[in-house]
Structure 1
Amino acid sequence: MIDLKNLDDLARKLSDLVPPGLKDARADLEQNFKSTLQAGLGKLDLVTREEFEVQRAVLLRTREKLDAMERALTVLEAKLAEPGASKN
Structure 2
Amino acid sequence: MAEHTGMSWKNKNVITQLNNSVDNVTLALQQAQSHPTQQTIQQVQNALEHANNALDDALQNSEHQEPIDRLQEQLNQNKEQLQQLRPSED
TM-score (norm 1): 0.37
TM-score (norm 2): 0.36
